[in-house]
């Protein structure tokens, strides 16, 4: 799944990579800067929010489940002493809800860094109330709408960034724009997820070209022991649980991309693992797509997104 193989994605992979990390990169005070983290009530999202809160950032947690989110918020405030933690209940698989949230957020807050972490891997083909396949709705369209809706807010700030949590699983997929909702053939949740994660890499590259004053990056957290992995990939979890990364190790590169000045010295639009850019294609794999397909993906997502925008008040 990765250039470094299984060992590179495991806990030991992170430990060996971290020997070359410069701790000073993330020893920064980000007081006064505002960070929005989706899927922040557990796993990598929560670990990321906590680390940035420790550094003084104002954190907007965007979560689907109010009860779980309240608990996470309380925990972050208690552990970090940071009171500037705000909660927004939004379902990232619901495009109308995202638009509504973004319009309101733009009027009330500023934003320096958007962290697209919310994701799902549904193993059977399920549709949302809007008739969208659930993985696509959350991972691809939700990420697209939230990001494009908040770009005007990010454009106003100095050192604005967008960090998207993808997965090395995307390395096995070539962009496929002919079947975005997985209507054809056998449905394989893992492959659909991997395809969505490839789409996130393409979106990041396209945004980086279009919005020069925002720094975009996409990253692979390695294999971390998170509630999402346990529930959506139980067999994988059983086999790998002893070598999985901690949530904090999985979040390390997200935090680095969100707060360090080193990250923005590198070009916008790159794919990262363990604080360094890595190729988005495996050697000899035929996963490269045509530029026109990549542009087409953006056009199709824009059409989808506008369709849901026009229906909201």
Tens-level pLDDT at each residue, the chain (313 residues): 444 455 678 898 899 999 999 999 999 999 999 999 999 999 999 999 999 999 999 999 999 999 999 999 999 999 999 999 999 999 999 999 999 999 999 999 999 999 999 999 999 999 999 999 999 999 999 999 999 999 999 999 999 999 999 998 899 899 999 999 999 999 999 999 999 999 999 999 999 999 999 999 999 998 888 888 888 888 887 888 888 899 999 999 999 999 999 999 999 999 999 999 999 998 888 999 999 999 999 999 999 999 999 654 5
Angle value at C-alpha 31, between 29 and 32, nearest 5 degrees: 140
SS3 278: coil
Q: Are 130 and 51 in contact (CB under 8 A)?
A: no
- Describe the strand order of the beta sheet including 85-89 as a list of residue ranges: 85-89, 58-63, 34-38, 113-116, 160-165, 214-219, 270-273, 276-277
Q: Where in the chain does DSSP place strands (E)?
A: 34-38, 58-63, 85-89, 113-116, 160-165, 214-219, 270-273, 276-277
**40, part of any domain:** yes
**179, part of any domain:** yes
* Closest alpha carbon to 45 in 165, 141, 136: 165
Rg of the chain, C-alpha, whole Å: 18
Q: Using CA atoms, how far apart are residues 194 and 176, in angstroms rounded to an integer?
A: 11
Structure tokens that stand for 171 in this block: 């390395």
**Quick one: pLDDT at residue 242?**
87
**Quick one: pLDDT at residue 311?**
53
**313, part of any domain:** no
**Quick one: pLDDT at residue 312?**
46
Other Cβ atoms less than 10 A from the Cβ of 198: the count is 26
Angle value at C-alpha 283, between 277 and 284, nearest 5 degrees: 150
For residue 142, what are the contacts with CB-CB under 8 A and spacing of at least 6? 92, 93, 94, 95, 98, 118
**136, part of any domain:** yes
Dihedral, CA of residue 274, residue 278, residue 281 and residue 283, to nearest 10:
-110
* Closest alpha carbon to 169 in 188, 191, 200: 191
**Quick one: pLDDT at residue 74?**
98
Can 144 be counted among the known catalytic residues?
Answer: no
Global confidence as pTM? 0.95
Q: Which residue has the tokens 């990390």?
A: 21
**Quick one: pLDDT at residue 126?**
97
Q: Are 253 and 278 in contact (CB under 8 A)?
A: no
Q: Using CA atoms, how far apart are residues 247 and 73, in angstroms rounded to an integer?
A: 17
How many residues comprise the chain?
313
**297, part of any domain:** yes
**Quick one: pLDDT at residue 5?**
57
**Quick one: pLDDT at residue 2?**
42
Indicate which residue of 99, 144, 193, 272 is catalytic: 193
Q: Using CA atoms, how far apart are residues 60 and 73, in angstroms rounded to an integer?
A: 10
The crossing angle, in degrees rounded to 10, of helices 291-309 and 189-210 is: 90
* Closest alpha carbon to 36 in 94, 73, 87: 87
**312, part of any domain:** no
**Quick one: pLDDT at residue 281?**
94
Q: For residue 35, give the CATH number of its domain.
A: 3.40.50.720
- Find the domain containing 263 and state its range: 3-307
**293, part of any domain:** yes
Q: Using CA atoms, how far apart are residues 266 and 271, in angstroms rounded to an integer?
A: 11
Other Cβ atoms less than 10 A from the Cβ of 186: the count is 7
Other Cβ atoms less than 10 A from the Cβ of 141: the count is 28
SS3 114: strand
How many domains are contained in the chain?
1
**Quick one: pLDDT at residue 59?**
98
């Amino acid at each position: 799944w990765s250039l470094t193989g299984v060992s590179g994605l495991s806990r030991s992979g992170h430990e060996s990579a971290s020997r070359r990390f410069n701790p000073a990169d993330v020893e920064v005070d980000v007081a006064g800067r505002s960070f929005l983290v989706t899927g922040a009530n557990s796993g990598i999202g929560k670990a990321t929010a906590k680390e940035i809160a420790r550094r003084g950032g104002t954190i907007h947690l965007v979560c689907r489940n109010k009860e779980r989110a309240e608990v996470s918020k309380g925990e972050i405030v208690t552990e970090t002493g940071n009171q500037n933690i705000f909660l927004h209940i939004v379902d990232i698989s619901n495009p109308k809800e995202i638009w509504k949230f973004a319009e309101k957020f733009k009027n009330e807050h500023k934003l320096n860094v958007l962290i697209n972490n919310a994701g799902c891997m549904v193993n059977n083909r399920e549709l949302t109330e809007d008739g969208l396949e659930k993985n696509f709705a959350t991972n691809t369209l939700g990420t697209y709408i939230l990001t494009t809706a908040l770009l005007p807010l990010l454009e106003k700030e100095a050192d604005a960034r967008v960090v998207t949590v993808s997965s090395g699983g995307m390395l096995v997929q070539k962009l496929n724009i002919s079947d975005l909702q997985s209507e054809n053939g056998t449905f394989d949740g893992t492959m659909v997820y991997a395809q969505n994660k490839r789409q996130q890499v393409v979106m990041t590259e396209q945004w980086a070209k279009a919005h020069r004053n925002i720094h975009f990056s996409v990253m692979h957290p390695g294999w971390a022991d998170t509630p999402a992995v346990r529930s959506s990939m139980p067999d994988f979890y059983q086999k790998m649980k002893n070598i999985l990364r901690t949530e904090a190790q999985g979040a390390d590169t997200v935090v680095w991309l969100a707060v360090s000045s080193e990250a923005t010295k590198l070009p916008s639009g790159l794919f990262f693992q363990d604080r360094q850019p890595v190729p988005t294609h495996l050697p000899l794999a035929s996963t490269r797509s045509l530029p026109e397909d990549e542009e087409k993906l953006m056009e199709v997502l824009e059409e989808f997104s506008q369709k849901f925008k026009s229906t909201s008040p």
